[in-house]
Amino acid sequence: MRLTQGKPYPLGATLDSDGVNFALFSAYASAVYLCLFDETEAEIARFRLERQTQQIWHGHVSELKAGCRYGYRVDGPYQPLIGHRFNVNKLLLDPYARQLSGPIIDHKSHYGYQFGHELEDLSFCELDNAAEMPKCVVVDLEGLAPIAPLMNPGEQRESPLSLRRGVIYELHVKGFSQQNPEVPEENRGRFAGLGDPASIGYLNHLGITAVELLPVQQFVSEAFLQQKGLTNYWGYNSIGFFAPHHGYLSSTAAAGGQHGLAGINEFRDMVSALHRAGIEVILDVVYNHSAEGNRLGPTYSFKGIDNLSYYRLHPSEPRYYINDTGCGNTLNLSHPRVLQLVMDSLRYWVEVMGVDGFRFDLATTLGREEHGFDVGSGFFDAIGQDPVLSQVRLIAEPWDIGPGGYQLGQFPIGWSEWNDRYRDTVRRFWRGDAGMLPEFATRFHGSSDLFEHAGRKPAASINFITSHDGFTLMDLVSYRHKHNQANGEQNRDGHNENYSHNYGHEGQSDEVELKSLRARQCRNMLTTLFMSQGVPMLLAGDEVGHSQHGNNNAYCQDNPSSWLDWRKDIASDELLSFTMNLIKLRRRFPMLCHRDYIHESANFASPGLDWFCRQGEPMTKAHWGEAQTRTLSLVISGELEAQAGCRQALLLMFNADDRPQQFTLPSLEGIVQWQCLLSTQDSSQDGKATNRQGLLQGASLVLQDRSLMIYYAQFTSAPQATGESR
């Protein structure tokens, strides 16, 4: 092996015909050492990178092949009081590493300071951590075939043409397949398990068009969790922005394989299999902070390479990290090299790994400049001008815990956002809270008050009732209070206000009437989700009544309480059948996912949306102001796609009251008869209407307490309705 000067670009380890080029950014280092290891992880060579170009240290080592293992040691001042934490005793991960040789396990040698020292992080640790640190693996990306694109429309099933017509399914890679007996045991809980025909067949059967995967980039379990025998199950603690998480690789892939590509190919094979089935892959990514924590956290990579550049530090006290994320540190995306790292990572997952988009964790942090959140920040501008990234799915979690951190509705055109106001409103409406009609109608309408002012469309609103963070749907109707004792934090963690209800008994129950009510409330909220304007997101397991036993913060529960339970007969599950029917109905009626906001009453020129009180009269300001009213109807109409000049309408009647209520069907010109499509009152089959006679307009019927019904009609003349819209 021979070291030559190499090139400063591209960053990371790049294989060529003569060896490997290494390039690492550090603005304040005094020396950078490249350490090479064999397959037993014994160090076989160490080179000092002598060349530096625009703060990038670089060198080329001849004779190296794919599969070679490496890491860096970076020397410089250890002066936490002014922001520097260099420690040459620490082997560091390359921020651009495509694969790691193993998991990261907490060890005292990973810390730059001495444990127990009275000076804390102002002390200096001379322990060498090379034996405890996994190594970066050089991979050969040349010659990788492009990922199979999504299937063409008309093949087997409709390909998702746009996000507005899609159904997102949020799932955990391990939790989804870990207990599925139809998946080969060695693949359960892995990328290969999600790509297995049994998994994909289930997703197709359900009607999913996109999976949103909880973090799959290399992450670490925090030390305090490892000390309690727990793990960071969700994965929001990233350290390798290019590397697929080692724990989700099969044993063969984890070993690296030929050219170091086994892990990369296992992920790519999963994406290809999902694409062949017409399912997009959206990654939940964490670029707001890293796994290195606060000033007392470990030194894995950025902290030892260039702490002052990679992190936002308090201007007056650079020893301390700005913590807009609540996770100990905040990455400094205002620095051009850190922004470059994130952009290169995103582009890699699209162009090499084949994914279709991203959900950005704590996305407000990514848009922070010196003065606070800015919709014109460098990050948003970089995404918007990028010819690759501007074309993929971009979904923001629109908040963090920093000043002015709640930014729902403020992200750029082209972005969608998790809409927690939709979540809370739907929960409160069906719980029976007073005064919810105006807010409920606004959220059902696609939250135009939040998005339309900036020229954004209903697809900007990602509607959800539950997500990984909080109660599952079944727990939402079974618990009034969180039960997080298993997390080892004395039940102090997790949200305190969940807008949940137990309907008289805390927790699971075998009481028939109680189970029936809870199941009905699940159907009510699912129906609301799939009938609303905007994009529905379903939490994996909600369609089969998955429970976490009241834990609303199961981030560290890597066990059957979090894993989807395939041991019961999911194929015959009534709630599953009901959910499948809802997804089919959404696909059947395009006006449920209209491109633009609907503000007009029904007419032939455009889709219409009209609100009615339960007496069948158009809503007035007085009706909207009735705080104790928990009933509402609406008619949404649009043209039949297959028959010009003929229109179709859906009538939805909501009864969130705890008593049965009589509804009168509205009288609309051109509609003679309404046919029942779905009722959440039914506790069997899938809610489909069977042997129900049609109802003439103006007819009356009684809706059971806490229930919802959907009726359908066709007409050839424009119905007329007047009233106060939302």
Catalytic residue numbers read 361, 397
Q: How many residues does the chain have?
A: 726
Residues facing 674 on adjacent strands: 695
E-assigned strands of 198-247?
Answer: 210-213, 217-219, 238-244
**Rounded Cα gap, residues 313 and 315, in angstroms:** 6
Classify residue 51 by its DSSP letter. E
Largest CA distance in the chain: 88
Residues facing 202 on adjacent strands: none
**Per-residue three-class SS string for 307-332:** HHHHECECCCCCCCECCCCCCCCCEC
What are 653's two structure tokens? 């009647």
Strand, helix or coil at 242? strand
CA-CA-CA-CA torsion for 138, 140, 145, 147, nearest 10 degrees?
10
What are 579's two structure tokens? 């959910």
Residues in CB range of 462: below 8 A, 6 or more apart: 168, 395, 416, 417, 418, 419, 534, 535, 537
Residues in CB range of 229: below 8 A, 6 or more apart: none
What are 73's two structure tokens? 């040691």
Q: Can you say how many angstroms the Cα of residue 482 is from the centroid of all Cα atoms in its chain?
A: 22
**How many CB atoms lie under 10 A from the CB of residue 72?**
24
Classify residue 597 by its DSSP letter. -
Contact criterion met (CB below 8 Å) for 5 and 50: yes
Residues in CB range of 657: below 8 A, 6 or more apart: 432, 630, 631, 705, 706
Q: Are strands 461-463 and 416-419 parallel, antiparallel or unpaired?
A: parallel
Find the helix or strand (DSSP H, E) in which 73 lies: strand 69-75
The position carrying tokens 């019927």 is 701
**Rounded Cα gap, residues 406 and 358, in angstroms:** 20
Q: Give me the amino acid identity at 114.
A: Q
Handedness of CA 477, 481, 486, 487 (dihedral sign): positive
Contact criterion met (CB below 8 Å) for 605 and 638: no
Residues facing 190 on adjacent strands: none
The Cα-based distances of 394 to 199, 220, 510, 592, 688 in angstroms read 25, 25, 43, 22, 35
Which of 78, 79, 49, 73 is CA-nearest to residue 129? 73
Bond into 197 cis (ω within 30): no
List of long-range contacts for 487-496, beta carbons under 8 Å, 24+ apart: 487/230, 487/551, 487/553, 487/554, 487/555, 487/556, 487/557, 488/228, 488/230, 488/556, 493/553, 494/470, 494/551, 494/552, 494/553, 495/470, 495/552, 495/553
**Rounded Cα gap, residues 462 and 435, in angstroms:** 24
**Rounded Cα gap, residues 551 and 212, in angstroms:** 22
E-assigned strands of 540-607?
Answer: none
The Cα-based distances of 189 to 246, 281, 538 in angstroms read 12, 17, 20
